[in-house]
A and B are shown apart, each in its own frame.
Chain A
Amino acid sequence: MKNTHSKEEFEAIIFTKYLIGERADKKTKELYIRALDNSPTILDKNDTAILSFLTKHPSTLGFLDAGLAVIKPHSEVRRRLYLIFAILESTPLYWKYFIPIQRRPIYLFIVIAVGIRSIYRLLVGSILVKLVLR
């Protein structure tokens, strides 16, 4: 991996952490960089601003992603998250985060909590995206 890809490698790390709570393995990082190289895009002003903000403040990623999902669903940031989502899902190391597992009925409460968190992230994220793009 070339040093010129350090930015993309860092994105792979924070995106993986955000999506599944794990540290990205070497292959995931390589595939992510290759996927970006395969479909290069010119970042517009807004995408650049959001990418730069979230690399400085990775903890806001959930809010920014949620906000973008309604404000700018086809943004470059979302595309990159989507790419790494697909890469992680097709990596055997992380199968347990994607393949459905038999759950006890009580797990429904966790799912409801995730749903509520999703709405909270969306509300805060919508404001945050607007603030970042100001």
Chain B
Amino acid sequence: MKIYEYIVVGSGCTGAMAAQTLVEAGADTLMLDVGIVKQSGYKIPQNKGFLDIRKTEKDQYKYLIGEDFEGVSWGKVGKGEQITPPRKHIFAETNTLIPVNSTSFFPAESLGYGGLGIGWGVGCWEFSRSEANQAGLDHKKMQSAYKIVSDRIGISATRDSAEKYSLGSLDNFQKSPEMDINHTKILKKYTTNRSKMNELGFFMGRAPLAVITQSTNNRKSYEYKDLDFYSDDDMSAYRPWMTVDNLKKYPNFTYTGGVLVTKFSEKKEYTLVECINLLDGKIKLFRCKKLLLASGVLGSARIALRSFNVPGAKTSLLCNPYSYIPCLQPSMLGKGAEEKKLGFAQLSLFLDKSSDMSDISMASLYSYQSLMLFRLARQVPFNFSDSRRLFQYLSPAIVIMGIHQPDRPSAGKYLELVEDKNSVTGDSLKATYISTSDEISERKKRERKYIKIMRKMHVYALKNIDPGMGASIHYAGTLPFSDEETLLTTRKDGLLHGSKSVYIADGSGFTFLPAKGLTFSLMANAHNVAENALNS
């Protein structure tokens, strides 16, 4: 059996970045992945925008609500509400292959080709020095890595009043895409009252996005088709599968899909990686000198817990509390739909509570158009007929404010691996996430502040929706960084304590989870961990 120099587990944002670093350094690398791909053969017309499709395409329902109506979810609002049928494979098979039992935490994981990156909102915010330090990361190394990742994935951004919160030292980016009228008005109001807003601790600016506004060799510049929730056809927005597809051209890279990595064991000469071959359900083994786990923080926790097999072991858990607030900007009432529109977050609003960048919460502002009225109508206690008329009129004035808040470890947040005879792996992850009353009251206080500041900009909150813990899809801290050689913790360079050759390339090590979307930082950290593995 061949011994690979490196095995990377997972094809998501972190796996893709770690693998690229290894492969470009010339290392013989194998990527192991479940790698579920899109099933539907139905393709969105490439030359049309969202409104054009809505008015003309006979079979639009196939991708707007799904051939099997899988895009029309009913019941309580929960995680992944914005995931449309063309991206539904993001969550495929997770309930069967990687089950989670919980009454307090409802995470989203992915076994898709590209992992959670399939549905990533492409926001790229840098961690500040204080945030990086609290998370256990070396800020200087992170800054270099941010630049490398930015070159790889392509970022558009703007230097503005919030740049110290969003961009840090990043300088290799393209100009931001144009905002729609809704957000242009909000930014104008903020700019007029900027000093007052800043005094209250609020800073607003353009959201840095992994979207290119100038075409490159194989990626087209962003075309404002408003199909961001449905299609990656022009490749203007970065997705990790693009990196993996590209790596497949290298002779020192091998991709093996259809396998679920379950555990590892370290031998004298190599590390043995055990998988379930999903085609026949049989065990499949791979060997490597060094193993990089990039299977998402819950996935890496599962693998580590199984591999170390410590009865009753618990790992910590971090998750950004998240709520979203549909707001109304009355000056937009009666406007028609905009043909050209940016579907991603357009503005970021930071609340720097202590003015020292150590305790920042962040809201992302989105317009509402391509996710259609039926999703809105489900969330209000009105009859559907009147809801349709009201939302048709109101939707151009609607701004969705998604508030992310930071998270720190506490006793009530943890994971355990429990026996589960119905599961393919014979176990399932039991998750507990109980916030303290102080945490809850602090979150509510922040949410009220956001609602108040939006009011000052003449944007009024309609409803505060809590989709439940886990809905942010931002998780970390399951194998936290530690200077002590404690089992189920990670060394600062990414090496898993208790192992000689297993590195953690995802966010499992973070000891603090800043409110800013963490994907950009996860990718930067994955690059650093891969470099550490190469240099060790």
Contact = CB atoms under 8 A, between A and B. Distances in A.
B385 A90 contact: no
A101 B55 CA distance: 13
B390 A73 contact: no
Residue picked from A38, A39, A85, most chain B C-beta under 10 Å: A85
A91 B61 contact: yes
A73 B381 contact: yes
Given A70-B381, A107-B393, A86 B374 contact: yes
A74 B504 CA distance: 42
Given A85-B377, A87-B61, A92-B57, A102 B336 contact: yes
A91 B386 CA distance: 19
B65 A87 contact: yes
A82 B72 contact: yes
A99 B60 contact: no
Residue picked from B72, B373, B377, most chain A C-beta under 10 Å: B72
B390 A114 contact: yes
Interface string B297-341: 000000000000000000000000000000000000111110000
Given A20-B388, A102-B335, A125 B383 contact: yes
A121 B387 CA distance: 12
A70 B382 CA distance: 8
A131 to B, nearest CB: 17
Interface in A39-95: 39, 62, 65-66, 69-70, 73-74, 78-79, 81-83, 85-87, 89-92, 95
B57 to A, nearest CB: 6
Contacts of A98: 54, 372-373, 388, 392
Interface residues of B, number: 42
Interface residues of A, number: 47
B75 interface: yes
B336 A100 contact: yes
B2 interface: no
A115 B75 contact: no
Interface in B47-79: 51, 54-58, 60-61, 64-65, 68-69, 71-72, 74-76
A102 B335 CA distance: 5
B385 A79 contact: no
Contacts of A87: 61, 65
Interface string A93-111: 0010111111111011001
B74 A117 contact: no
Contacts of A99: 51, 54-55, 337, 392
Contact of A19 (B51, B57, B384): B384
A65 B374 contact: no
9 closest A-B pairs (Cβ-Cβ)? A102-B336, A66-B383, A90-B61, A65-B383, A118-B386, A103-B334, A90-B64, A86-B374, A86-B72
Given A66-B386, A74-B75, A99-B51, 4 more contacts: A62-B383, A65-B384, A78-B384, A83-B69
Interface of B: 51, 54-58, 60-61, 64-65, 68-69, 71-72, 74-76, 333-337, 372-374, 377-378, 381-390, 392-396
Interface of A: 18-20, 31, 34-35, 38-39, 62, 65-66, 69-70, 73-74, 78-79, 81-83, 85-87, 89-92, 95, 97-105, 107-108, 111, 114-115, 117-118, 121-122, 125
